[in-house]
Structure 1
Amino acid sequence: MGIKSFLAARRTTKKTTGDAPLRVSDYMTRNLVTFKADQPLEEVINAIIKHRISGGPVVNEKNELIGIISETDCIKEISESRYHNLPMNNHTVENYMVKDVETIDGNMNIFDAANKFLESKRRRFPIVENGKLVGQISQKDILKAALALKGATWEK
């Protein structure tokens, strides 16, 4: 009586073709809603609501990144104005934006970018090339990339 093997035949695994994009720049949003430092905060609030975004980059006239303004920054201002019974007139982005902005390299692998999101607890990272804002990657963009890669490389 011979020995029976309980191992099934090995499946052949799909190999990545090499043409599945893995870089942040392949998934980043390029058409951004941006804001200016001297823009009234009320305009930012209206844009956030209209475009269904959680915030956006603040750029100067040369399209250089100078900050980020978020819905949280706007809510802080509303809360403070209400508390002190002050109108929101003359309140500009410059006074409420985050100026120390962490960016991400467009050539970064999306998996490394995913880890960066987990470590920083941020919702978005701007991408700057040659000093100019060229795009933004969000957590949602990373999820889209993962689904696209699943279709190209993962077993179904």
Structure 2
Amino acid sequence: MLKSIKVRAYMTRRLVTFQPDMDLFLAINRLLEHGLASAPVVDGEGRLLGLLSESDCLRAILTGAYFEDARGTVGDYMSRELDTISADADVIEAAEGFLRGQRRRLPVVEDGRLVGILARRDVLQAVKEFAEHDRKQHMEE
């Protein structure tokens, strides 16, 4: 049953993260270097504060160009309203969250701390593995 598959089993644990006081252009370089469209922003204790996306960066650059001063920190431009998911949620809840919020990735939190990221692709992988396992069981019966 798909509800038995937990987010914890499929989330990515090794993350690129930013702190709010990080220079925006350093963060942009890290996004480009790692081929990421966004990355979570955390405090010194790993609590999730926001998310810095390519759109946030473009908005910062346009604002800076308008005022002829393209400077700032991640905290100045990050998105603070986030959809998150618990590591103990099941993949059905995750799929619903992806469709409801039209997100590609969801930060995974436990007790307010970031513990991973779950991508739509991770949910698809979980479903694929479940279906393969289920098929093998039926063939053995």
TM range (shorter): 0.7 to 0.9
Which of 59, 64, 67 pairs up with 1:81? 64
User: Which structure shows the higher helix fraction?
Assistant: 2
% identical equivalent positions:
35
Stretch of structure 1 that moved more, 125-134 or 29-38 = 125-134
Instruction: Tell me the secondary structure at the aligned position of residue 102 of structure 1.
Output: coil
Q: Distance between the aligned counterparts of 1:80 and 1:100, measured in 2? A: 20
Aligned to 2:36: 53
2:56 is equivalent to residue 38 of structure 1 = no
Q: Distance between the aligned counterparts of 1:26 and 1:35, measured in 2? A: 24
Aligned to 1:8: none
Instruction: Tell me the secondary structure at the aligned position of residue 39 of structure 2.
Output: strand
Quote how far apart the aligned CAs of 1:92 are.
0.5
Aligned to 2:139: none
Aligned to 1:114: 95
Q: Which of the two has higher C-alpha Rg? A: 1
Gaps of 5+ in 1: 1-15
Q: Distance between the aligned counterparts of 1:152 and 1:76, measured in 2? A: 46
2:75 is equivalent to residue 94 of structure 1 = yes
- Give me the TM-score of the superposition, normalised by structure 2: 0.86
Q: Distance between the aligned counterparts of 2:33 and 2:131, measured in 1? A: 32
Q: CA offsets per residue over residues 92-149 of structure 1, 9 Å max, x none?
A: 1111111122210111111221111001111221111123211111112112222222
Q: CA offsets per residue over residues 30-54 of structure 1, 9 Å max, x none?
A: 1110000011111111111111111
Give the letter for the 1:88 counterpart.
Answer: A
Give the letter for the 2:70 counterpart.
Answer: M
Quote how far apart the aligned CAs of 1:154 are.
4.4
Give the letter for the 2:73 counterpart.
Answer: T
- Give me the TM-score of the superposition, normalised by structure 1: 0.78
Q: Distance between the aligned counterparts of 1:52 and 1:24, measured in 2? A: 23
Contact conserved, 2:14 with 2:116, CA < 8 A, in 1?
A: yes
